[in-house]
Structure 1
Amino acid sequence: MKKIITIATIIIYFFCSVSITEARVQSISRGDSEYRNIALTFDVEGGTDINRVLQTLDSYGVKATFFLLGSWVENNPNLAKQIVDRGHEIGNHTYSHHLLTRHSKDVIIADIKRAEQVIKKATGVNPQPLFRPPYGAVDKRVYNAIGEAGYSQVYLWSIDTRDWSGISSSQITNSVLDNAHNGGIVLMHVNRNNTPEALPGIIEGLQQRKYNIVPVTQVSNPTREEIINYKPITMRVDGRFKVFDRPPILHNGTSYLAARDLAELLGGKISWVDEEKKVVINLSGQTYSFKLQGGENHLLLINRRAYIPLRPVIEQLDDIEIRWDSKNNYINLNTINFLRKNE
């Protein structure tokens, strides 16, 4: 049987979409049911005909998530690089595709790290923190090993196309469309003959049903930044500590402030463009846009509130100074000259 799901996985699947293990690893089998998002994920374990899948995704403007087997990447580094170059998300699928529940913790960690090094060398991207265990086989010991290897998010699935079983392309398509749901995570494989042929029908069918097809990190938790290494920080504005209902945060070394608070602080206007999932702020006649997964101007959603990075805005505005006080761990913001100039 291609897909082996342990008792631990079954418990996770039926009782919760996100489980936190003792090793601080999130096990995610489906996303937030409040959002009409769905993710297409591909296990890349063999074969070289991945271009058909990539071309189809490109033609529909869809981004997916690929879990890469290290041994495949080692033999096909250029194909692995294409996945990243086309803007898709990648995760670690181990090096050897062993059934992890049958191996020691040390063997598991070594296999994961070996895959990681191969993937980084080929693509220039670290697959952390995304991981998918071969066959979906996990238990407590495996989770601990995954966590020790540096991976905090284990992605399973809620919709198994069973494309590995040799079913037809129409059966693959129907398995997705008949079981589609908000927050769905679809499992497919690029090395199956009928999967590329099924993909156009899957995408068109989901879009007709008004689903947003997004990478798995967006479907698993559209507000995922609230559960990944961010912390509240303090801000000193014009010589006084400022108390916000939504405190500023530090995320991956970048300071963020709630978009509405920044607009109010600097006397600007804010709007939300729903179809593009972006915030637009008008300050002193200049317009700034921040989108989810928007590169430098990356928008975070935390408790359904939009947070934007401070520096890309502040550095473009005259008469505003921003400085991080590393000794006392707070942000210094001087806005007096800016506000006087724009009264």
Structure 2
Amino acid sequence: MSGRRTPVARRGALRTAAGGVLAGAWAVGCAPDGTPHTPSREVRHGESTPSAESTPSTESTASTPSAQKAHGAVRPAAAPRRFPGQPVQIEHGPRGRPRVALTFHGQGDPTLARAVLGAAERAGARLTVLAVGSWLDQNPGMARRILDGGHDLGNHTQSHLDINAMDETRAYEEITGCARRLRRLTGSIGTWFRPSRAQHATPLVQDLARRAGYPHVLSYDVDSLDFTSPGVAAVTRKVAGELRNGSVVSLHFGYRDTVAALPLLLTEIDRRQLRAVTTTELLT
């Protein structure tokens, strides 16, 4: 990754980021077993935000040329690619290289999402964001913000429901619905697909993802459990205790604990002489 800061400069930037934690709304998380979790907020886990195709949004859906013009052209996103030697469902990258991938489930207060992206960029880190389609409907500018920061952008289903429990038709629509939004906003269906409300996709969902154009399903081997709102220390301790070469870490936008913990995690990553890179770079 070009332009990487020295450890001293990075730690200074991380301390600055840690002091700028923003308060905000709580987002919907993904329990690894699909069990709903209900944070203290009006929208409960498992409720889907109405699609902008049927409900007007406070922001343009960017689904028309005029809307796209209003938000500015998004640089084309990378398309999905096949990684020879990797399984259909990827949990981690090569263990022999000092790299890790921090992956974020893209939903929740966009102010907190921007705080996460900014903290990562100040530290020279790049992330992988798996966006929920209905979130992109309401916040189409986030697609541009993510890509302009040099991060991966992928698909986390349209409605963020338990995709493994759906029948074939409905599950496929969840995948392709989000893919259509990504294509309208970025020119690509996104670099990755991750199932909603589950760490692993069922064989059926894996097949449907391939049919939709995603050669791999992106899982993870380190779960931060930040969606349970356990506190900054608990999030930091959980990730730091399991992190190693090639790890793919599951985190979420929209949680204040996560925003506060990220600078601490990046400092720990730097101390171990690891690099936080996109999942694409992790596997390349």
Scaled to the shorter chain, the TM-score interval is: 0.5 to 0.7
- 1:95 is matched with 158
- 2:147 is matched with 84
For residues 128-149 of structure 1, give each alpha carbon's deviation from its aligned partner in whole angstroms, at most 9, with x where no partner exists.
Answer: 4x11001224211111111111
Q: Which amino acid aligns with 2:104?
A: F
| Whole-Å separation in 1 of the counterparts to 2:86 and 2:213 | 17
Q: TM-score, normalised by structure 1?
A: 0.57
Q: Give yes or no for contact 1:27–1:154 (8 Å, CA) kept in 2.
A: yes
2:103 counterpart of 1:75: no
Which is higher, the Rg of structure 1 or of structure 2? Answer: 1
Structure 1 moving runs of 4+ over 4 Å: none
- 1:279 is matched with none
Of 33-42 and 45-54, deviating more is 45-54
- 2:176 is matched with 113
2:107 counterpart of 1:45: yes
- 2:209 is matched with 146
- % of aligned pairs identical? 26
2:193 counterpart of 1:193: no
Q: Give yes or no for contact 1:159–1:184 (8 Å, CA) kept in 2.
A: yes
Count of residues in correspondence between the two structures: 204
Displacement, 1:213?
Answer: 1.2
| Whole-Å separation in 1 of the counterparts to 2:175 and 2:128 | 18
Displacement, 1:77?
Answer: 0.4
Displacement, 1:89?
Answer: 0.5
2:209 counterpart of 1:209: no
More strand by share: 1
Matching residue within 25, 29, 32 for 1:4: 32
| Whole-Å separation in 1 of the counterparts to 2:144 and 2:258 | 21
Matching residue within 9, 19, 28 for 2:90: 28
Q: Give yes or no for contact 1:112–1:149 (8 Å, CA) kept in 2.
A: yes
- 1:335 is matched with none
Q: TM-score, normalised by structure 2?
A: 0.68
Matching residue within 160, 179, 182 for 2:245: 182
Displacement, 1:119?
Answer: 1.7
Gaps of 5+ in 2: 1-28, 35-84
Matching residue within 151, 155, 164 for 2:218: 155
For residues 204-261 of structure 1, give each alpha carbon's deviation from its aligned partner in whole angstroms, at most 9, with x where no partner exists.
Answer: 1111111111111222x23xxxxxxxxxxxxxxxxxxxxxxxxxxxxxxxxxxxxxxx
Q: Which amino acid aligns with 1:103?
A: M
Is the partner of 2:157 in helix, strand or coil?
Answer: coil
2:126 counterpart of 1:63: yes
For residues 81-100 of structure 1, give each alpha carbon's deviation from its aligned partner in whole angstroms, at most 9, with x where no partner exists.
Answer: 10111111111001011211
| Whole-Å separation in 1 of the counterparts to 2:242 and 2:164 | 29
Gaps of 5+ in 1: 7-17, 21-25, 223-343
Q: Which amino acid aligns with 2:90?
A: I
Relative to structure 1, is the Cα distance of residues 84 and 125 closer, same or farther in structure 2, using a 3 angstrom cutoff? Answer: farther
- 1:166 is matched with 229
Q: Which amino acid aligns with 1:126?
A: I
Displacement, 1:121?
Answer: 2.0
Is the partner of 1:199 in helix, strand or coil?
Answer: helix
Displacement, 1:200?
Answer: 0.5
| Whole-Å separation in 2 of the counterparts to 1:139 and 1:213 | 28
